[in-house]
Chains A and B, each alone.
Chain A
Amino acid sequence: MSFTIKTHLEPVQSNKVKKTEYNLIQVKGTWKCKVGKNFSQNLKGCVSAAKISESTTERGTSWTVVSPIVFTYKVIQSQGLLDPSNDTLLLGHIRDPQQLETMRSSTTPLRRFVVIDEIVYNLYGRQLIDYLQAFNAVYRILPLPTTEENKSMELAMKILEEVHKFSLDRRTEPIIAIGGGVCLDIVGLAASLYRRRTPYIRVPTTLLSYVDASVGAKNGVNFADCKNKLGSYIPPVAAFLDSSFLQTVPRRHISNGLAEILKMALMKHRGLFELLEIHGSFLLDSKFQTQGLQGGDSDAASVCTRLAIETMLEELAPNLWEDDLDRLVDFGHLISPALEMKVLPSLLHGEAVNIDMSYMVYVARERGFLTEKEKIRIISCMVGLELPVWHQDCTLAMVKQSLCERLKHSGGFVRMPLPTGLGNAEIFNDTSDETLYKAYVRWCDELSTKPPHIPNREHIIDVVQ
C-alpha cells in the first residue's frame, strides 16, 4: 500500500468500489502489504500464507483477512508406553529431529503435568510414577473421576487451577491426558483454554477412545444437560496409542469400541468388515493383546487397529473443524445421541451407536442399497461382536424427532450416511417417511426378539435389485 497522506481524495462515484489484494512480506522484522506477485528481488523476506484484501467505497474501507493456521499432529502406535526404555510418552510429540536430540541429551529435568482418570490411576498409577521417576522428571499427577456426569466446565476449571499452580511452560511442557474419551475431552478443553492454547497429549486407555476420541480435533464438556455443548476443535500435538491398556478393559467396553470400528468398516472398508466378521470373537476374547506378538503387524488385532485409525484419519483430516456437514463418520450418530441421553446410563456410547447403525442398515435395505444377504451378514457381525441391535426405547417417534433435529442443525438437509454395499456408503437427503416406517417395522419384527431372529443366510437367494 502506498501511504501518501492525502487530506482530500478525488470524489468517488457512488457505485465505484476499489478493490486491492495484498500479499504480506516480512522484511527485517516488519510485515508489509505488497500488491502483486512479482516482488522486488531486493526484498528478501518471508512471504506469509495470509492475505489481506482491501475494498474502498464512499462509505469507508473494508478489509478481508484470510489467514490459514496449520495444525500438525502425530498419532503414534507404541508398545510399552510406561516402559522406562521407551521415551515416547515424554518426547514422542517432538517432530524436529534436532530438537529431539537436544532434549534427549539435556540434563535439565523434564517437567510434566499429567491428568489421569481415577480408575486408570488405580491400575497404572504405580507404573506411571516409576516411569516418570526413571526419567528424573518433575511431575504432578492429577487423578480425576472422569465420568459423563462430571464432564463439565467446573472440572475443566479445576484442572486449570492445578495446571496454573504447576507453572507450566507451554512451549516445552505439554499436558498429558491418560484415560477414556471423557478424560481426553475435558483435558483437551482445559489445555485449549490455558494461555489461549497449551499443547496437550492424548493417551487413550479404552478401545473406543483408541479409535475415536484420540485421532480427531474435538474436545468438550457437557452444558445445560446437553452433550458436548461447550468445547473446541484444537487437536492434541500427539496421541500415543498403546493397546496394552486394553487388557484391563471390561469385555463390554471392548464391544463398545468395536462398534466404532464397525462403523468405519461399514462406511469405507470391506476388508475391515470381513476381519470383524471372521475375527470379532477372537478380538473380544484376546482384548487386542495379540498385537505384534509374532513379530510383524499382520495379525488381526494390528490390522484392525491400523485400518480403524487410517479410515478415521482419512475422514477427519480434510474436515478437522467440521466445516463440511456431509460426514460419513456421522453414521450411527443421528439417532444415538437422543437414545443415549434418554436411557443414560444403561447404554454405552458404542452400544447406542450400534443400535442406530442397525436400524440404518434396515433403511438401506429398504431402499435397495443392500441385498438381503448383506444385511444379514452385517447384523450377524454385530451380534457376534456382542453389541445390541435393537432397543425398545428407540421408537419411531424418537427416530423422527432425531432426524428433525438433524435437519435443523445441518443447514436444512438430513445428510444421512447409508451403506451402499459392504464397505461403501454415500450420504442421502431424500429418505421418505414411508421408507423409514417400513424399515422400522421390519427392524422390530426381526430383531426385537431375544435372541434376534436373523434368517440363516445360506437360505437366502439374492435377488438382483
Chain B
Amino acid sequence: MAVYPGTEFSLQQVNGTWTRQVGQCEKAGRVSASKILESKSEHGHTWTVVSPIVFTYRVIQCHNLLDVGNDTLLWGHIGDQEELKAIRRKSQPIRRFVAIDETVNHLYGLQITQYFEARNVVCRILSLPTTEENKSMELVTKVLEEVHRFGIDRRSEPIIAIGGGVCLDVVGLAASLYRRRTPYIRIPTTLLAYIDASVGAKTGVNFANGKNKIGSYIPPIATFLDRSFIQTIPRRQISNGMAEMLKMALMKHHGLFEILEKEGRKLLDSRFQSSDRTSLDDHEDDASVSTRIAIETMLEELAPNLWEDDLDRLVDFGHLISPELEMKVLPALLHGEAVNIDMSLMVYIAHQRGLLTVEEKARITKCMLGLELPVWHQECSLALVQRALGNRLKHSAGCLRMPLPTGLGCAEIFHDISDDVLCQAFQRWSDELGVRQQNINTNNAGKEFQRDDHNRR
C-alpha cells in the first residue's frame, strides 16, 4: 500500500456533523471508515480521500421459488429478522417491478402473476426480448422508462430480473443507473446464468460491436437460485452451462471434476432436477452438490476481487481466446461452447508444458465430450489464437495472465508462453481432436433435433 505524505484525518460524527480529527477519535460519536489525508505544496492543498463502500449481497438457493408459500421471492433479500418484521407490519401495499425475458415469461409468466396476486403485491411485469443482438443501451432505456412510469421507492422496492445472462445484465445496468443506484434482484433461469452471471457484480450491454463494452460493477442485493427453471432448458443449453462448471472444477475443485466425469451424462439427462424433491431431509444428490460447489468456488474467486482490480483471475480460464472465437462465428457457438474449446486447447498447452500428465489430459477431454461440449473448432486457427493472446497482453497491463491447470482441480497463472510450446500444443490439439470433433458434428447433423420452444441464449 502506498504511503501518503501529509496529515491523516479520521472522521467523526457528533450531533449530526462530521468533523476531521487527527489521531485517535476522543469524543463519543460515530467514526467513519473513510479517511482524508491532507498535504500542502506551494500551489495549494492536496486532499486524498479514502472511502470504502461495502457491498453486501445474498445468494440464496431454494426450491419452488414461485410457490405461493415461499417467502423468498418477496423477502429473501432482507437478512435482518427485525427489519423483516417491521416491513411486514406496515400497511402500505407491497409493490414490485419485474423485468422478465420474453420466452421465460411465456413459460412462467402465469405462475409469477399468481404468486404476486396471492400475496397482494402490486406488480408490473415487463416482458423483454433479451437476446445478444438486443443487448444494448436502447433496451436499458426502455426498462428505465417503464421503471420510471411505475414509480419505485428504491429503498423498499427492489427491481426483480428473471431470465438468462443477457436479461440479468441488461436489467442490472438499468437498476445501477436509476437514481444512481436502485437495488435489484437476479433470478437466473439458465444453468449458465445460475453459475456465472448471477453471483458476480458485473452488468452490461454491448456497444460498438464490442461485447459488454458499457456496464457497471454493481452487484444485486440478492440472487435467488432455483434449479427447477432448468427443466425447461434445451439440452444444448445445459451443456453450455456445464462448461462453466467444468471451468471451476478444473481450476479449483477435484471433487467437482469427478462428479462431472462420472455423472455428467446423468445430470444432462435429468436437467439437474433432483430425483426426490418431496423428501424433507437434506438429501444432497449430485445435482445439488455440483451446483453448490460451482457457486462456492465462483464466490471464493469473485468476492475478493469484485471490481476486477486484480487482473490475475482464475475465472478467466477459457476466456482468453473464446471472446474472439465467439464473435467470429456468431451465432454458431454458444458462450459456454466457445469457452470449452478454449479450455480444451489450454489443456493441451498445460500438458505440453508438463503441468498435466497424458492421463489427466485424456480424462479431461473425455469428460468434456461426455458433457456433449465441442472440444475443437475449425475457426479456432493458430492465427486467431495468437491474435487473441496479443489482445490479452494489451488489456492486461502487458502480462499474459494465462490460467493453466496444474493437476486435476488445481491451477496457477502463467505469464509466459513460448511460441514453440504454443505451436506444438496447437498442432497436437488439432491432430488429436480435429477429426474427432468433425465426426461428432457429422453424427449430430444426422440426428433429428428436438425442437424446444424454450430456445434462446
Contacts and interface: CB of A to CB of B under 8 A. Distances in A.
Given A12-B282, A233-B181, A268 B45 contact: no
Interface in B1-19: 2, 4, 11, 13, 15-19
Contacts of A24: 300, 303-304
A218 B181 CA distance: 11
A291 B43 CA distance: 10
B251 A309 contact: no
Interface stretch (B157-165, B210-218, B322-330, B374-382): B210-218
A110 interface: no
A68 B45 contact: no
Interface of B: 2, 4, 11, 13, 15-20, 32-36, 43-63, 79, 137, 141, 144-145, 148, 153, 155, 176-181, 202-204, 207-208, 210, 212-217, 219, 225, 251-253, 255, 258-259, 280-286, 288-289, 292-293, 295-296, 299-308, 312, 314, 394-395, 397, 403, 410-413
A228 B412 CA distance: 45
A12 B283 CA distance: 9
**Which of B18, B60, B208, B259 has most chain A Cβ within 10 Å?**
B18
B296 A314 contact: no
20 contacts: A8-B283, A8-B284, A29-B314, A29-B413, A30-B314, A31-B305, A52-B299, A61-B292, A67-B55, A68-B53, A74-B46, A74-B48, A76-B43, A164-B208, A164-B213, A197-B307, A310-B47, A317-B35, A425-B16, A427-B16
A64 B155 CA distance: 19
A387 to B, nearest CB: 24
A31 B57 CA distance: 19
B216 A70 contact: no
Nearest to B311: A171
Interface string A7-36: 111111010000000001010111111000
Nearest to A309: B47
Given A79-B43, A196-B216, A425 B314 contact: no
Interface of A: 1, 3-12, 14, 24, 26, 28-33, 48-52, 54, 56, 58-79, 95-97, 153, 157, 160-161, 164, 169, 171, 192-197, 218, 220, 223-224, 228-233, 235, 241, 267-268, 291-292, 297, 302, 306, 309-310, 313-322, 326, 328, 408-409, 411, 424-427
A4 B255 CA distance: 8
Given A61-B61, A314-B18, A95 B4 contact: yes
A33 to B, nearest CB: 6
A233 B35 CA distance: 18
B303 to A, nearest CB: 4
A63 B216 contact: no
B56 A65 contact: yes
B217 to A, nearest CB: 5
B63 A60 contact: yes
A232 B148 contact: no
Contacts of B295: 63
A321 B2 CA distance: 24
Nearest to A232: B180
B317 to A, nearest CB: 11
A174 to B, nearest CB: 15
A326 B49 contact: no
Contacts of A157: 137
A60 B60 contact: yes
Contact of A193 (B216, B251, B253, B301): B216
B2 to A, nearest CB: 5
A73 B53 CA distance: 13
A73 B35 CA distance: 11
Given A6-B284, A33-B296, A65 B177 contact: no
Contacts of A268: 17
A283 to B, nearest CB: 16
Contact of A153 (B16, B36, B141, B208): B141
A285 to B, nearest CB: 22
Contacts of B314: 29-31
Contacts of B395: 169
Contacts of A314: 11, 18-20, 36
A317 B17 contact: no
Contacts of A61: 61, 292
B216 A292 contact: no
A30 B410 contact: yes
Given A95-B2, A193-B216, A65 B180 contact: no
A66 to B, nearest CB: 5
Contacts of B217: 69, 196-197
Contact of B16 (A3, A59, A233, A328): A328
A65 B36 contact: no
Contact of A71 (B53, B145, B283): B53
A24 B252 CA distance: 14
Among the interface residues A62, A169, A229, which one has the most CB atoms of the partner chain B within 10 A? A62
B159 to A, nearest CB: 14
Given A29-B312, A241-B44, A59 B63 contact: yes
Nearest to A1: B296
Most buried by B among A1, A5, A9, A408: A5
B16 A72 contact: no
A68 B217 CA distance: 12
Given A218-B180, A322-B180, 15 more contacts: A5-B289, A6-B289, A24-B300, A31-B300, A33-B296, A60-B61, A60-B63, A67-B56, A68-B52, A69-B53, A69-B307, A310-B20, A313-B36, A318-B34, A319-B18
Contacts of B306: 50, 67, 69
A7 B51 contact: no
B427 to A, nearest CB: 28
Contacts of A54: 296
Contacts of A310: 20, 47
A146 B412 CA distance: 49
Contacts of B215: 193, 195-196
B214 A3 contact: no
A52 B207 contact: no
B352 to A, nearest CB: 20
A292 B51 CA distance: 30
A306 B39 CA distance: 12
Contacts of A220: 180
Contacts of B49: 71-75, 235, 313, 316-317
